[in-house]
């Protein structure tokens, strides 16, 4: 997508070319802090882990605490509408066609359920409570995410 | 009360995802593309989230009840089994293909893009497939 040099400004760190044009440190940190705040509130007040794949899975399967879990997901679902009252929605750009989306969705659904979590449950909540399982899971999905993009963009892609 | 706080937490979570850039698949893929022009922003999303969530989660670990009196339900499993590792690797492949993980998928479902609707349907199908396979295993 991006042209080498034009977006990197030529600066590299450890051999990795940083995309300074798209780097948004402040909104990333502030957005992350809000995510952490929400996860903190959910565990302190409701006694639950804000892991989205786990919440989706248990709402699908039924069982304990279904209403509360569904309401967290409803809040998540309504967030862009709340956002839209105050500001324009940020950019949402997709780079895959229908087949990629279907395959990706299936893998994400299946993988997060087998792996007991995703970016939120393992990556944020799990690492925050220093869980070795979550650390291993996060390293695992990050590594395969990096590898997948490398294969699709640099081995097969143009 | 618990229902209200659950929904409020979900709303804040979603706004955080939107603000952070995690809800933009193109930005996620820019983060996962180490060999191209790398956008490290999402690393800072994790740093920001963990910095804020660490204290409340550490507090939760020492408690049996939440502030609202609900039982504290933290994961108890300890073992690093093949399911954890294999599942996480599969998830990462899917994440790398489309740049969408479960939280952002829900948070942008109502944004009016057909792509996310298709993705969420496939993701829910994958989750139902997991449940079906688990039921068969239990027989």
pLDDT in tens, A50-63: 999 999 999 999 88
A8 has a pLDDT exceeding 60:
no
Q: Which positions in chain B touch A7 (Cβ < 8 Å)?
A: 37
> B88, A140 in Cβ contact below 8 A?
yes
DSSP H or E segment with residue A13: strand A12-13
**Which residues form the domain of B11?**
2-138
CB contact under 8 A, B73 and A49: yes
Tokens of B108: 């942008």
Residues of A (16-45) whose Cβ lies below 8 Å from B: 16-19, 21-25, 27-45
Sign of the alpha-carbon torsion through A7, A11, A17, A19: negative
Q: What is the pLDDT of residues A61-85, one digit of tens each?
A: 988 899 999 999 999 999 999 999 9
Tokens 């690093």 sit on residue: B80
Tokens 């209200």 sit on residue: B4
Residue A64 φ/ψ region, left for φ over 0, alpha for ψ in the -120 to 50 degree band, beta for the rest: beta
Q: Select the residue from A99, A109, A139 to test the B interface by mutation, using most B Cβ atoms within 10 A.
A: A109
Q: What percent of chain A has pLDDT over 90?
A: 85
In total, how many domains does chain B have?
Answer: 1
A147 has a pLDDT exceeding 60:
yes
Q: What is the mean pLDDT of residues B119-137?
A: 96
Q: Which positions in chain A touch B36 (Cβ < 8 Å)?
A: 1-2, 17, 19, 153-154
Return the pLDDT at B96.
Answer: 98
Return the pLDDT at A111.
Answer: 98
């Amino acid at each position: 997508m991006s042209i080498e040099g034009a977006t990197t400004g030529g600066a590299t760190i450890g051999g990795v070319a940083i995309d300074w044009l798209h780097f948004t440190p402040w909104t990333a940190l502030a957005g992350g802090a809000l995510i952490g705040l929400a996860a903190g509130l959910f565990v302190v007040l409701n006694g639950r882990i804000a892991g989205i794949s786990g919440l989706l899975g248990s709402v699908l399967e039924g069982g304990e605490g279904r209403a509360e879990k569904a309401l967290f997901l409803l809040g998540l679902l309504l967030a862009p509408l709340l956002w839209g009252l105050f500001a324009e929605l940020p950019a949402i750009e997709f780079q895959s066609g229908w087949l990629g989306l279907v395959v990706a969705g299936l893998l994400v659904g299946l993988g997060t359920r087998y792996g007991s979590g995703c970016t939120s449950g393992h990556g944020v909540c799990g690492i925050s409570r220093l869980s070795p399982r979550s650390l291993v899971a996060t390293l695992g999905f990050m590594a395969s995410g990096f590898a997948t993009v490398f294969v699709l963009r640099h081995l097969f892609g143009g | 009360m618990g229902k209200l706080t659950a929904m409020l937490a979900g709303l804040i979570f979603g706004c955080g995802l939107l603000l952070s850039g995690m809800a933009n698949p193109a930005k996620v893929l820019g983060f996962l593309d180490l060999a191209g022009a790398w956008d490290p922003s999402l690393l800072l999303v994790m740093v920001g989230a963990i910095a804020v969530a660490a204290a409340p989660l550490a507090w939760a670990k020492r408690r049996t009840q939440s502030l609202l009196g609900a039982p504290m339900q933290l994961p108890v499993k300890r073992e690093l089994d093949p399911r954890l590792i294999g599942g996480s690797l599969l998830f990462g492949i899917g994440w790398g293909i489309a740049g969408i993980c479960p939280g952002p998928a829900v948070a942008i479902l109502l944004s009016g893009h057909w792509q996310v609707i298709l993705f969420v349907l496939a993701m829910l199908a994958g989750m139902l497939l997991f449940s079906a396979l688990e039921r068969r295993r239990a027989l």
